[in-house]
Structure 1
Amino acid sequence: MTAPWTSAPDARLHVGDADLEYACFGPTPDQAPTLVMLHEGLGSLSLWRDLPERLAAATGWGVVAYSRAGYGQSSTVPLPRPMDYADREAKDVLGAVLDALGVGSCVLMGHSEGASICAIYAGSVSDMRVRGLVLIAPHFFADPRGLAHMSSVRKAYETGGLREKMARHHADPDVAFFGWHDRWTHPDQVRWNIADSIDHWRIPVLAIQGSEDAYGSLDQITEIEDRIYAPLEMLLLDDIGHMPQFEAPDVTLTAITEFCTRLQAFEQSPSPIV
């Protein structure tokens, strides 16, 4: 049974053992392609702000965003999170979310950890519904710069007011924070690497990265350039940090919209007879 296409605040998807909050905007999957949004490691549905609505208006596509288990108002999870958390989210949850909403042709759009989940899905799951990727500040391997910054964020959470800010968006901010922090700062995380997922992509990709991102570096984008066999577009933003969608909203929105428009036009154009 397909879940309702709705932006009602109490909307939930039942996936596996979890109830996931979600919201949909714009046309339904039978009317237009869908942009599926996956949030960052401390994110949630509400922390996308009005970006889903803006993307729906700009692209003419349907847009869906959801909070992963342990985030936002979705079901909680036990801690610690497993080291292969991103793989599990990609292989066990994301496809089920698409199924539950009746999503057809779509582009996966992820930010930070959400981008990693999109990358894994596109590289390991044969799903012809997925026609492209939008990756904002993606992680493919443990970046020393990012790991150092993640270690310092704990103080901001415990004494700097970050917990209070997160409590506005997460039913259990401790699960959201420590589920992210303790996995990324675990000694084994230095060996984490999902770059081989890039080798298996066969769909167009838009990669967006800020030069001043404290959680990552342009090396993540170089990894895509060095390994990809599919069309790649890049938006590299000077003096922008980890949140291009909010630090440079207009240029980021335009890049995503134009990418989706070109992809749709290409797929709808008649194939030449050879």
Structure 2
Amino acid sequence: MEVDEKATALYSFDPYLFGLFLLAFYIIPYPIYRIIAHRFKWETNPKTMSRHWSDLFDGISYGLLLFIFGNYSNTLSWTTVATFYPSLFGYALIAELPFTRTSLPDIKNWPKGMWFVFLTALAIILVFAGYHIYLGFLLPMPFVIYYVSCLAIPAIILASSFLLSKEVNQNWCRTKIYSWKSRNKNKNATQQAVGEETTLLPVAASGEGAHNPYSRQIAIHLHHWQIFYVLAFFTRFDDPVSQVGAGIVLACYMEGICAYGYDRLVNDG
């Protein structure tokens, strides 16, 4: 029963293990990666000391959420740590291939090599996902329902980001409301004119549109660190395969942070 309670815990926290978690997956790999990347001229964003400092505290904040809701106080193991470091630099080497030096927003222009890497990674993720859902089924109900339903959280965040982009870039809500009011106004005017048996002459457009309060457009850029950060919440089982999966997704997440930092999903255009 005790094992089931730990395995099905929706959240957990241990201060000592959280310190080890930060040490193993952020404090130690971050400077090592930056030094090696500089030595071998890997692609990285130049960072000032203030940016390093900001990334550190972003890392603590994001890491705290991940540790609590990813059940790492019950599943953190040396298997995850041992998988993390080879995966971190393995991912970096793959990212340095000539055909992988692109980004998700440029998907229409991806070369064949990038598509091969992407589809291979997607297949691996789906296999791991299927196995993790199977592990969820082995636990008492309704854990697996909660587990799968949590996928809705990142989906809602992503969808809301695109809706925000549509609203800001197209002034969507006010334009729709303005069009609806204009149609109703013209319809009422037409009905009134017909009722009075008068001739309705074409009315020149006023040239006025819906008020636009937005001075700048925004752009959506989904980064690989965000994808793998989300996946790291689901590798929450005390199972060797899950712990290996945790090491891989944490490594891919941290590669993005070490190389580029906490770039945002929603950006000013």
Give TM-score scaled by structure 2 length.
0.27
Q: Which of the pair has more CA radius of gyration?
A: 2
TM-score (normalizing by structure 1): 0.26
Q: Which has the higher contact order (CA 8 A, sep 6+)?
A: 2
